[in-house]
Amino acid sequence: MPKLFTGLSAFPLTPADPDGIVDTAALGTLVDRLVTAGVDSIGLLGSTGIYAYLDRVQRGRAIAAAMEATGGRVPLMVGIGALRTSWATDLARDAERAGASGLLLAPVSYAALTKGEAAAHYRAVAGATALPLCIYNNPGTTHFTFSEALIADLATVPGIAAIKMPLPADDDYAGELARLRATTPETFAIGYSGDWGAAASLLAGGDAWYSAVAGVLPDLALRLTRAAQGGDASEATAIDAAFAPLWALFKTHGSLRLMYTIGDRLSLPVGDPPPPIMRARTDVTATVDAALDHLGVYLN
C-alpha cells in the first residue's frame, strides 16, 4: 500500500489574496513546516486548500511552490476537483508534469451527478495519468455520496488506489472498514477525514487520517496518529480529549474558517479567505483561543 495513502496526510491552507493570487513564498513556508514535522504526506489543494476558489493557473503555481518546498522529502497529493471531466484531466496532467505523487478527486458538480456519471468521470480522470488517484468522498461539500457498491466498482479501476471517507453517522468505523475491505482489493487504502474522528478511525484500523488541523498543528496531529497506529489507545484518546473543544468548534463552524484563525494565532502566513468566505467572528476567535489553551501541555 503506497505510503501516500497511509498515516497522517496534512492539508495546508493555500495562502492567497482576495483576488485568488497564490502567495507562493507563504505556501512554501507552510509546506516546509509540515515536512519538518515529519507528516507522512501533504494534501495540497484540498477543501482546506481552497481548490474550488482557484483557477488553473493559480493551482499550477501552488503545485510548483509546494514541490519546491518538499524537495522530494514527503509525497505530495494534489486535489484536482473540477466541474468538467476535461478540466479535471487537464489538472491531473498538470500535477503529473509538476512531479506530484498522487491525485485527490472530488465529484464536483452543479447539476447533481448520477452514479453512472460519477463512475465515468472517475474512470476518465484515472486513465489520464500514471499517478495513483484517491477518491474524495465528501458529501458535505459535493452533495454526492458514494455507495459501497460504487466504491467497490471504482476500486477495481486501474489507477484508483484509495478513498478519503467521511465519518460514519453511527461511528461504526470497524464495521464500515470490514464491509469496504470485503469488496475492494487488498491494496486499496481506506482513510478518513473529519478531524474529530481521527483517533477512533485509526484505532479501528483506518489506513490514513486526512487532516485539516495537521495543516497548522502537525506535531500534535502526528503524535495522535503515531499513538493510534501503535495501538496506544490511552495516549490517542488523551490527545483526542485535549482536542475536544476544538473539535466542537469544527462541528459548529466548519474547519476552513477556523484554520485561518488558528494560523493567525500561530503567526503563520495563511493569507486571506477567498471571498465571499470571511474570517471567523470575534466571539468565535475567543473560543478558538480557549480551545488552543485547552491543548495545554501537548503544545509545549
**Per-residue cell: 230:** 501503535
The arithmetic mean of pLDDT across residues 144-172, rounded, is: 97
**Is pLDDT of 1 > 60?**
no
Please provide the average confidence, as pLDDT, over all residues in the chain.
96
At residue 300, the pLDDT reads: 62
C-alpha span between 156 and 172 (Å, rounded):
25
**Alpha-carbon distances, residue 248 vs 23, 106, 168 (angstroms):** 31, 25, 17
**Is pLDDT of 3 > 80?**
no
Residue type, 111: A
**Alpha-carbon distances, residue 115 vs 36, 93, 233 (angstroms):** 41, 25, 38
At residue 257, the pLDDT reads: 95
Contact in structure between 77 and 44 (CB atoms under 8 Å): yes
pTM over 0.85: yes
What residue ranges in the chain does DSSP mark as E strands?
Answer: 7-10, 41-44, 76-79, 102-105, 133-136, 160-165, 189-192, 208-211
Query: 258 Cβ partners below 8 Å, 6+ apart?
Result: 246, 249, 250, 280, 284, 288
Q: Could you read off the pLDDT of 209-261 as tens digits, one per residue?
A: 999 999 999 999 999 999 999 999 999 999 999 999 999 999 999 999 999 99
Cβ count within 10 A of residue 25: 11
**Per-residue cell: 248:** 466542537
Q: Could you read off the pLDDT of 169-198 as tens digits, one per residue?
A: 999 999 999 999 999 999 999 999 999 999
Can you give the C-alpha Rg of the chain in angstroms?
18
Residue type, 37: A
C-alpha span between 31 and 224 (Å, rounded):
20
Contact in structure between 75 and 7 (CB atoms under 8 Å): no
